[in-house]
Homo-oligomer: A and B are copies of this chain.
Amino acid sequence: MLPTRLTRESFSDFGDVIEISEKAEHFTINDGYTERYHDLAQVDVMAKGGRTLINIFRSSPLDKPLAIKMMERHPLSSQAFMPLGDEDYLVVVAPAGDFDSSKIKVFLASSKQGVNYHPGTWHHYCLAVNNTSDFMVIDRGGDGENCDAITLDGSLVIEI
């Protein structure tokens, strides 16, 4: 499967794209020295006494050919990833609800784009493409089972 370029519109069934865009609400602050691109993602982490966590993930690229062998979802919360370097990365998702492998979508995200998976969106974990990549991750802390994972047969291979 070939990835398509990540856009706000193409990703809207799965979550938010976090990026500087004229389509986003934005306004000038700090005596004119800063443009604030405002409220770019729906952070949804409060279920069952949850709280917002800030983390950094350091991810190694998967082996090539890049076969998709798992997907996961967080039923209780959103999870946002923002790249901290200049590495593009892959985003593999399927709609919330009963998992349907025929509905998997593969996006190529630029290093200037973050994603925020909405609660329940099926996704592969962080997919660095070429080099070790760091991401700032905003997710949930708190009690409750918040990760369902399923195993796939690896027949879906991403061409990059």
Contacts and interface: CB of A to CB of B under 8 A. Distances in A.
Contacts of A51: 43
A34 B116 CA distance: 18
B52 A52 contact: yes
Contacts of A92: none
Given A40-B54, A52-B52, 5 more contacts: A20-B134, A33-B61, A33-B62, A35-B57, A54-B80
Interface in A31-86: 31, 33-41, 43, 45, 51-62, 70, 80, 82-84, 86
Contacts of A96: none
Nearest to A136: B82
Interface residues of A, number: 46
B34 A126 contact: yes
A81 B112 CA distance: 16
Interface of A: 18-20, 29-31, 33-41, 43, 45, 51-62, 70, 80, 82-84, 86, 112, 114, 116, 125-126, 128, 134, 136-138, 141
Contacts of A59: 30, 33-34
A125 B33 contact: yes
Contacts of A70: 31
Given A125-B29, A136-B82, A20 B52 contact: no
